Structure 1
Amino acid sequence: MSTIHVTSCIHAPVERIFNLSRSTSLHKAVLRSYKKGTLESRGEGLMNVGDKISFRLSYLGRQRELVTKIDVMEDPKMFVSTLVRGSFRNLRHEHHFKPIENGTLLIDLLEYEPAYGAAGKWADGLLIRSFLKKYLEAKNRLIKQYAEGEKWKVILPEKK
C-alpha cells in the first residue's frame, strides 16, 4: 500500500475549506486546469455521504475511469472517499480539516494499491505516485485561491 500525504495552510475558515473540498464545480475546475480528465457526479453542488463521483483520467497513455464514493463525513472535520471501481486494487482518500489561529490546515491522506501486480508497482514508482501527488497539490492550490479571495462565493451556496 502506498501513501501520499499533502498538507496545505489556507487563510480562511474551516467551514469554507470543508465545503470547497466537497464542491463538484471546484473538482471539475481542477481537472480542466490540469488537462487530465473530467468528473461526473449526481449534479452541481456539494458532495455528501453516499455520493459517487466518476473521474475520467488520462495517464499512462490511456483513458481510465475511477469511481469513488463518500463513505464517512464529519462536518467540518473530515470526509473519506473510497474506491468503488477503477485501475487500483484499493484506494482510500481521507480529507481532514483542522482550524488554526490564522485559518485552516487542509490535510490529504491518500492510501492506494495499484492493480496489475508487479507492473502496477513499477508504474506507481515511475508515474502514478507523482501524478496523484501533483493532482492533490493542484486541487489544494485552487481551493486556497478560491478560499482566500472572493471566488468561493461563486461556487458555494448561500446559507439560508
Structure 2
Amino acid sequence: MTVSFVCRTESAIPRERLFDLARSIDAHVDSMDSSGERAVDGVTSGLIGEGQDVTWRARHFGVPLTMTSRVTSLQFPERFVDAQVKGPFKSFRHVHEFEATDAGSIMTDRVAFTAPFGVLGRLAEKLVLRRYLERLIAARGLYLAGLAGDPRA
C-alpha cells in the first residue's frame, strides 16, 4: 500500500530560482545538515538534470542509509520528478511542482512511498515514516524558501 502526502511552501523567490534551488545538490545537502546527508555518487554537486542519478548517504533514526534517486522527468520551471532506483524503500517518488505568484512562488512537494517488509513496513509507515518524512520535506521547503537573500544559493 502506498502512503502519500503533500507539502506546499510559499516563497518570495521567483519560481525559476526556486526550481533550481530544489534540484541543487548543494542546497539539498545544506538543508539536510541534521541527518548528515551527503551526495556520494552520481551528481554530487551543482544542479541535477533529467535522467541523472544521485546517491545519498545519511543517518535517519540512528541508522546509516544509502539511497539512489533518478530525475525521471523535468519541465523547467514547472515540474520535476525524482524516484528511488535503489535504497531502503520498496518505492519512493517525489514530484516537485512550482507556480508563480504575485509575491514569488509556491512549491508543492508530492511524495508517495511504500516501505519494505510487508505488514511490519505498513505499521512503520503509519506510526513513524509518514510523519517523519512529511516534517523533513516541509523543513526542506522552508529552508529553500529562506534562501531568497543568500547570494551563495
Q: Counterpart of 1:99 in 2: which secondary structure?
A: strand
Q: Secondary structure at the match of 1:88?
A: coil
Distance 1:66 1:110 in 2: 15
The amino acid across from 2:93 in the alignment is R
Alignment of 1:148-159 (within 5 A): 149=149, 151=150, 153-155=151-153
Q: Once the two structures are aligned, what percentage of the paired residues are identical?
A: 23
TM-score, normalised on structure 2?
Answer: 0.92
Give 3-state SS (helix, strand or coil) of 1:127's partner.
helix
CA distance in structure 2 between the aligned counterparts of 1:36 and 1:43, rounded to whole angstroms = 14
TM-aligned CA deviation for residue 36 of structure 1: 4.8
TM-score (norm 1): 0.88
**1:136 aligned onto 2:137:** yes
The one-letter amino acid of 1:22's match is: R
SS at match of 2:112: strand
- For 1:141 and 1:72, the matched residues in 2 are separated by 24
Is 1:88 aligned with 2:89? yes
**Equivalent in the alignment of 1:28:** 29
Q: 1:126 to 1:57 in 2, by over 3 A?
A: farther
Aligned residue runs from structure 1 range 1-160, under 5 A: 1-32=2-33, 34-40=34-40, 41-147=42-148, 149=149, 151=150, 153-155=151-153
What one-letter code is carried by the residue in structure 1 that aligns with 2:152? V
Quote the Cα distance in structure 2 between the aligned partners of 1:88 and 1:22: 21
Contact persistence 1:31–1:39 (CA under 8 A): no
Partners of 1:42 and 1:89 in 2: how far apart? 23
C-alpha offsets along residues 106-136 of structure 1, whole Å, 9 cap, x if unaligned? Answer: 0000011111111111111222112211111
CA deviation map 1:45-76 (0-9, x unaligned): 11101111222232344211111100100000
Runs of 4+ in 1 over 4 A off after TM superposition: none
Deviations 1:5-62 (A, max 9, x none): 0001101211110011011110010121x23532334232111011112222323442
Residue of structure 2 in register with 1:158 after alignment: none
- Write the letter of the residue equivalent to 1:20: L
Amino acid of the structure 2 residue aligned with 1:7:
R
CA distance in 2, matches of 1:6, 1:17: 15
Q: Which sections of structure 2, spanning at least 5 residues, go unmatched?
A: none
Write the letter of the residue equivalent to 1:111: A
